[in-house]
């Protein structure tokens, strides 16, 4: 598979497995895109979505996520690995498809010194909306990115797959940390919605606007588009979380 060869070249050039690359390997790797770009292109190619616009791509998110798993399996079968930064980078790119579909040219990728709060921001009135992207596990990193204040609301987004991280007690803590929504894959959302007793289902817990806090990742783009509205003034947006 050509993408595997590109990925191997990129990893060899970076010193995979503590190997010291030659200058030739470094030069070859420098000619290629980043590892996450190589992986994302392969995902969209397999999904037959590479040349579609962001709205069409996000409408087909289940296909993208299925191919994400397939690509990951092929990488492992080839004896390669995705480090944490690459996995996170791919998840951010998937999230960005939703942002491109819902708020094109209205969001920004936050610089490294703002990573404590999130990965993307949609600027608007009366306050900005931040999106914190994590991959398969929330752990402490997601909740730590919450600002704890309503004037800086945060959305969580990830390919979470561990039911144990989403107890009702834990989900209530996200609410108090300033999260207005957390998006997760449909299988996890469905599994949580079917739990009963001891405060379950956690999917019934509401945000400060009395709307669901936990949500299906497939609804992300539509939800963002619903709350981001053009302001009568030039180049400004109204972010109406009452509509979230």
Q: Is the pLDDT of residue 27 over 60?
A: no
**For strand 154-158 and strand 179-184, is the pairing parallel, antiparallel, or unpaired?**
parallel
Mean pLDDT over each residue of the chain, to the nearest integer:
89
Return the H-helix or E-strand segment holding 26. helix 23-30
Summarize the confidence of residues 120-135 as an average pLDDT.
90
What is d(CA 100, CA 98) in angstroms, rounded to the nearest whole number? 5
70-109: pLDDT as tens digits: 999 999 999 999 999 999 999 999 999 999 999 988 899 9
Q: Give the other-Cβ count within 10 Å of 140's Cβ.
A: 8
131-148: pLDDT as tens digits: 999 999 988 888 888 766
Output the pTM of the full model: 0.91
**Is 213 within 8 Å of 181 (Cβ atoms)?**
yes
Q: Is the pLDDT of residue 36 over 70?
A: yes
Residue spans of beta strands (DSSP E) within the chain: 107-109, 120-122, 129-134, 154-158, 179-184, 214-216, 228-230, 237-239
Domain ranges of the chain: 2-82, 104-243
Q: Is the pLDDT of residue 157 over 80?
A: yes
Name the DSSP letter for residue 231.
-
188-231: pLDDT as tens digits: 999 999 999 888 999 999 999 999 999 999 999 999 999 887 66
């Amino acid at each position: 598979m050509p993408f595997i060869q590109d990925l191997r070249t990129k990893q060899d050039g970076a010193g995979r497995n503590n190997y010291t690359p030659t200058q030739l390997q470094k030069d070859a790797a420098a000619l290629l895109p980043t590892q996450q770009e190589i992986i994302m292109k392969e995902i969209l190619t397999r999904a037959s979505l590479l040349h579609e616009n962001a709205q069409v791509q996000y409408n087909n998110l289940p296909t993208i996520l299925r191919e994400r798993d397939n690509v990951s399996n092929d990488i492992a079968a080839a004896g390669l690995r995705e480090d944490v930064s690459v996995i996170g980078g791919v998840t951010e790119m998937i999230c960005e498809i939703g942002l491109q579909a819902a708020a094109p040219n209205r969001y920004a990728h936050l610089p490294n010194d703002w990573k404590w709060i999130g990965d993307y921001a949609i600027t608007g009135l009366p306050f900005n909306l931040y999106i914190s992207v994590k991959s398969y596990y929330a752990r402490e990193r997601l909740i730590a990115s919450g600002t704890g204040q309503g004037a800086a609301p945060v959305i969580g987004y990830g390919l979470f797959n561990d039911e144990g991280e989403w107890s009702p007690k834990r989900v209530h803590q996200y609410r108090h940390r300033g999260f207005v929504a957390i998006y997760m894959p449909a299988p996890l959302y469905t599994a949580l919605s079917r739990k009963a007793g001891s405060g379950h289902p956690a999917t019934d817990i509401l945000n400060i606007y009395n709307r669901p806090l936990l949500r299906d990742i497939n609804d992300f783009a539509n939800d963002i588009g619903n709350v981001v509205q053009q302001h009568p003034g030039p180049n400004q947006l109204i972010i109406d979380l009452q509509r979230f």
